[in-house]
Chains A and B, each alone.
Chain A
Amino acid sequence: MKLFPILGGIHPEYRKELTSEKAIVALPVPKTLYLPLQQHMGAPASTTVNAGDLVKKGQLLAKAQGAISAAVHAPTSGRIAAITEMTAPHPSGLPTLTIMLDSDGKDEWAEPMPAINDPFAAAPAEIKARVAEAGIVGMGGATFPSAVKLGLGGQHKLEILLLNGAECEPYLTCDDRVMREHAAEVVDGARIMAHALGAPKVIIAVEDNKPQAIETLRAVAASQPNVDVVGVPVQYPMGAERHLTQAVTGRETPARKLTADVGVVVHNVATARAVHQAVRLGRPLLSRVVTVSGGAVAEPKNIEVPLGTRVSELLDFCGGVSKEAKRIISGGPMMGQPLPSLDVAVVKGTSGILALTQRETNEHASSPCIRCGSCVTYCPCGLVPVEMAAYIRNDKLDLAAKIGVQDCVSCGSCSYICPSHIPLVHYFNYAKGKIAALDRERRKNEQTKALVEAHNARLERQAQAKREAAAKAKAAKEAAEAAAAAQAQPNSAGGANA
């Protein structure tokens, strides 16, 4: 299959060998699970259970709320201990509403959702509804509700479902293992999703550093004429959806548009597996495969983890973290996020938990920019990071926006390559957040202004009406007085005459 080059990109030290040959092991269900109501992009789910309720495995605990949201289910059977605010698995460390579920150790299933035995005969809406019911979100880390993304077929003419098995982040091998160990489920899930999307073709793209995954998928896909498996070059950020789309199809997604606008929808391989389980087995999303790795982890592993497991328990399962740990990251080292504490939960988007040493992070204090231009050369989005950072440092966010800071995908190639160790992505994330906030504020101000103007106009209209009424009344009064005066006149005149 013909591939297309993508711009820039880097070749970080991958260190996937730490876990790539470690088969997925299941984590024993922990005593207590902590399930945040917000494990996805969009609105938090709203609870359907109360503290003290007994629940079965797979039972709905919180339902989706609004257009973009995702349901949360019980990963095991037990009792709802509390519904309370706890630290979110997010760098902010802000509290988020969390369901605490005490396991009863029986792991007893609730009545599963009915299996859809022939999904290809089912209406796309039915598949979409099932995926929504199962609480599935993008498991590559973006956590966008998958059902919403499966609805794109309604508005766009889609040709290709591109299944993302690139896994271009260093260390992570969870997708690799899922593809190797559950290839049939992945391919089946992908076909079901393509059916829901109305896309005639499925392409599964895997970076060439995972030859076994490619081979296994090819063997499974051989019987499916509309499923292709393609090896893509090892080049970070190959797994970014717009870049993968370009590499595989040559189509460049316009800025501020979706890949669906060029006829392609991208889903992660683990999401495909979750869709398979929801549709064929009626199982909601209860667990996910997490790579626990890094130089500070005693025994790196790939683990099937019940959602809501605390990170500390996961690390203990891997022999604990050594004192050398410099950073604890959720996700990959390039785009992952630092965790505020080890007591936070594994959520639907947690692809990896990494404990990295100083040697691995290679962090140093930043020094002045020498304008080497590496960031420009390696930026996969064609941006000029050095210039954007200079504007942002001087608080000229409008100029940074003008040269494209909002087109930055925060892949981190520039920061990685910068010889001066300048945290460029940090600048850009700050700018993007600030610009979005300013934008919201501006819109709010405009709205307020419009309301105030409408209010003033109404008051003015009322005043005007009052004035008019008063004027009318006055005129009427004057007319009446005049009339009265006119009537009185003869009398007075008469009086005077008298």
Chain B
Amino acid sequence: MGIQGCFFDIKRYAIHDGPGIRISVFFKGCPLSCRWCHNPESQDPVPQVMFDPLRCIGCGACRGHTIPDLCPSTALEVCGWKMDTGQIMQIVLKERLFFERSGGGVTFTGGEPLMQPEILAELLEACRGNGIHTALDSSLWAPAHIVKKIIPLTGLVLADIKVMDPAKHKYYTGVDNALIHSNLMAVARSGVPFALRIPLVRGINDSGRETEDLIAFALRLRDAGNLTCIHLLPFHPYGKNKASGLISGKIPASGDFSAPAAHAVDSLLIKMLSMGFNVVKGG
């Protein structure tokens, strides 16, 4: 058995995470702690126990145990499991016919895949060896040497830009964005095609200075490299219920955020379109 990674989901027929029919592999663990995170169970890099009181039938099967496998209703469940490259590839290869038919492939997402660079590199190489297209969905908050090593291995980068203002970025995500920006520029210069994914949250990054800076940065990135598309992802307030299910490990705090106004999204969309960007609303 090779190196193991920690993952929290594998989704087949993922049709909104890159070109074609894809399989999305979700890495568990993220260096950011975005206050609006809609996958709070993705943040802690180790398996966690989740409990859903609505599913619990009070049968007592868990009494005296800590192994959620005994729970008949799956009210008590472990989120996250360890797998190695061989095990992941076994599932990935099952979808090969659909990748070929649709021009799809694998999307590595999370959490933050770059937090587990060894197994990520192994997986990207295994896919390349099998002629399978790969996409890396990342915050790009990772040491520059890791980014430099990983990027040439992937077919497409889906890079998130959360907030432009450095202080706000630090406040809302827990990390500085200078590293992210320099890594993004490195991605652009690498020549690997990349797309930007912008989660838009009302009052935080959906208007004014934020969007102006965003456009300026996007222009620089476009000049530097192969920017294929910008995805505007209006925030949706649905992560909260999930967070309340975590009962072990890191339990992220959650704030109150709301979806951006439709006109704010549309005006940004139109502005970007007018500047010749390929922009779409949604994944």
Report whether chain A binds chain B.
no
Question: Which residues of A are in contact with B by a Cβ distance under 8 Å?
Answer: none
